[in-house]
């Protein structure tokens, strides 16, 4: 946009010469708007010849339905990426005079999910090509079909990010929805994977791991953040000096990780052997001295046993620079 000065009477007969300009920038927005796309497919017949010709109808995700693929993408991104529930979208679209029932949009999203299934499978396959994969699972309240009641389902997440040890591939996450938390789910998702699997202490992952020096199955690495959380809860309440000392010592581990992030696996391992290994050794020594002297039913004892029974997978980051300190 160019704003020219007004031509005043005193400027009459004079030659105007451009000697410069002031430029200002402002951020603007073009609001989204709905439109109706009308597709016509003419039918033709030939004189003296039986039959009719007509172009085939284009394929759509919702066959013979109302939404274009752009509208489906708008609804899906708003719901799943921006956290905008369908009932809110229903109200937003109504302001523009477009009535879209949330139940109808829910059916559309189900169809979109079906069409994207092949992409979700591809993402998981790409993740399982990585040297190291993060895995975790969380409960998810879900409406049971038919009765409208909530039931507990599970969302399993598998992530790959090679950038901390110098990789250049894009980070990616694949999700799997399941009705249970059984080990069968892990086997189905990760069967055949032989890389590093970085996880919490859930037993289902351990059943999948390599055993007795075999190369069959993933190599487990522990997540220090899951252990730290147990000590931190005791530290914040002032319930345990050992928990506070543990948190202070663990802080030094994360301090080093910030300095080696993005370096090669070899460089990371060398730095960890120099700085982190003595800290880890001191932590386990502290825990071994403490556990026999406290009540086995205490929260501190639970935290100690959680860490001590997983020593091998917790120490794996010290010798393998591809492993992260936490997942």
Q: Is residue 172 part of a domain?
A: yes
Q: Is residue 261 part of a domain?
A: yes
Which carries the bigger pLDDT value, residue 183 or residue 318?
A: 318
Burial 155-186 (b: 16+ CB within 10 A, else e): ebebbbbeebbbbeeeeeebebebeebeeebb
Sorting pLDDT into bands at 50, 70 and 90, what band is 200? confident
How far apart CA 131 and CA 191 sit, in angstroms, is: 15
Q: Looking at the whole model, is its pTM more than 0.85?
A: no
The reply to whether 157 and 201 lie within a common domain is yes
The reply to whether 271 and 182 lie within a common domain is no
Q: Which residues contact 151 (CB under 8 A, 6 or more apart)?
A: 141, 142, 143, 144, 179
The reply to whether 137 and 212 lie within a common domain is yes
Mean pLDDT of the region 62-70: 93
How far apart CA 276 and CA 255 sit, in angstroms, is: 10
Boundary (domain end) residue, out of 115, 136, 171: 115
The reply to whether 249 and 296 lie within a common domain is yes
The reply to whether 90 and 152 lie within a common domain is no
Sorting pLDDT into bands at 50, 70 and 90, what band is 122? very high
Residue 207 has, within 13 A of its CA and on its CB side, a CA count of 12
The reply to whether 145 and 108 lie within a common domain is no
User: What range does the domain containing 78 cover?
Assistant: 67-115
The reply to whether 311 and 229 lie within a common domain is yes
The reply to whether 91 and 104 lie within a common domain is yes
Boundary (domain end) residue, out of 175, 203, 221: 221
Boundary (domain end) residue, out of 190, 221, 252: 221
Mean pLDDT of the region 110-123: 95
Q: Is residue 27 part of a domain?
A: no
How far apart CA 153 and CA 136 sit, in angstroms, is: 14
Q: Is residue 44 part of a domain?
A: no
The reply to whether 236 and 308 lie within a common domain is yes
| Per-range mean pLDDT, top range of 2-6, 188-192, 256-260 | 256-260
Q: Is residue 200 part of a domain?
A: yes
4-13, 105-114, 300-309: the lowest-pLDDT one: 4-13
Q: Is residue 43 part of a domain?
A: no
Residue 144: what pLDDT?
79
The reply to whether 230 and 315 lie within a common domain is yes
Q: Is residue 250 part of a domain?
A: yes
SS (H, E, C) the chain: CCCCCCCCHHHCCCCCCCCCCCCCCCCCCCCCCCCCCCCCCCCEEECCEEEEECCCCCCCCCCCCCCCHHHHHHHHHHHHHCCCCHHHHHHHHHHCCCCCCHHHHHHHHHHHHHHCHHHHHHHHHHHCCCCEEEEEEEEEEEECCCCCCEEEEEEEEEEECCHHHCCCCCCEEEEEEECCCCHHHHHHHHCCCCCEEEECCCHHHHHHCCCCCCCCCCEEEECHHHHHHHHHHHHHCCCCHHHHHHHHHHHHHHHHHHHHCCCCHHHHHHHHHHHHHHHHHHHHHHHHHHHHHCCCCCHHHHHHHHHHCCHHHHCHHHHCCCCCCCC
Q: Is residue 198 part of a domain?
A: yes
Q: Domains in the chain: how many in total?
A: 3
Give the tens place of pLDDT for each residue, 255-310: 999 999 999 999 999 999 999 999 999 999 999 999 999 998 999 999 999 999 99
């Amino acid at each position: 946009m160019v704003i020219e000065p007004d031509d005043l009477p005193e400027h009459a007969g004079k030659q105007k010469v451009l000697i410069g300009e002031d430029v200002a920038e402002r951020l603007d927005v073009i609001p989204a708007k709905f439109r109706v796309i009308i597709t016509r497919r003419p039918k033709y017949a030939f004189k003296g010849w039986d039959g009719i010709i007509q172009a085939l109808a284009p394929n759509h995700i919702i066959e013979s339905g109302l939404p274009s693929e752009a509208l489906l993408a708008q609804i899906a991104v708003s719901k799943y990426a921006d956290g905008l529930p369908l009932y809110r979208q229903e109200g937003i679209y109504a302001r523009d005079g477009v009535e879209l029932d949330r139940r109808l949009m829910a059916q559309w999203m189900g169809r979109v999910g079906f069409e994207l299934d092949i992409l979700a499978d591809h993402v998981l396959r790409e993740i399982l090509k990585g040297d190291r994969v993060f895995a975790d699972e969380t409960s998810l309240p879900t409406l049971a079909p038919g009765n409208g009641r909530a039931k507990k389902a599970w969302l399993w997440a598998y992530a790959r990010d090679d950038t901390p040890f110098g990789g250049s591939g894009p980070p990616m996450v694949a999700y799997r929805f399941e009705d249970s938390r059984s080990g069968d789910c892990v086997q189905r998702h990760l069967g055949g994977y032989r890389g590093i699997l970085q996880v919490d202490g859930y037993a289902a992952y351990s059943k999948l791991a390599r055993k007795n020096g075999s190369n069959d199955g993933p190599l487990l690495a522990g997540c220090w953040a899951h252990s730290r959380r147990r000590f931190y809860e005791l530290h914040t309440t002032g319930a345990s000096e050992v928990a506070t000392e543990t948190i202070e010592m663990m802080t030094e581990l994360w301090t080093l990780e910030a300095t080696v992030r993005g370096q090669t696996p070899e460089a990371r391992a060398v730095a960890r052997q120099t700085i982190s290994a003595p800290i880890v050794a001191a932590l386990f020594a502290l825990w071994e001295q403490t556990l026999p002297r406290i009540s086995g039913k205490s929260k501190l004892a639970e935290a100690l046993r959680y860490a001590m029974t997983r020593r091998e997978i917790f120490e794996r980051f010290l010798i393998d620079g591809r492993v992260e300190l936490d997942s």
